[in-house]
Amino acid sequence: MYNDTIPVLIVGGGLVGLSTSLFLTQHGIPSLLVERHPGTAIHPRARGINFRTMELFRELGVEEQLRAAG
């Protein structure tokens, strides 16, 4: 029987869930993200990203990718 332990379960692949997964990975903490939908939404769901959030994304190295995606 396969028995593996994941210390953090993230439910939801929206902005908060995906960001949490990135931050945990950066700190070497394994996590499992589950999302009920098979892909991303075709319409934006977030109204914007505040200054501090963009600073954190810059530290993760994903700021330019986010800006390019619009």
Which residues sit opposite 9 in a β-bridge?
32
Domain segments of the chain: what residues?
8-69
Per-residue pLDDT tens over the stretch 20-63: 999 999 999 999 999 998 887 777 777 778 899 899 999 999 99
* pTM, 2 dp: 0.76
Long-range contacts of 12-19 (CB under 8 A, 24+ apart): 13/37, 13/40, 14/45, 14/46, 15/45, 15/46, 19/53, 19/56, 19/57
* Overall average pLDDT of the 6-33 stretch: 94
The confidence score (pLDDT) of residue 14 equals 86
CB 53 within 8 A of CB 44: no
1 pLDDT exceeds 60?
no
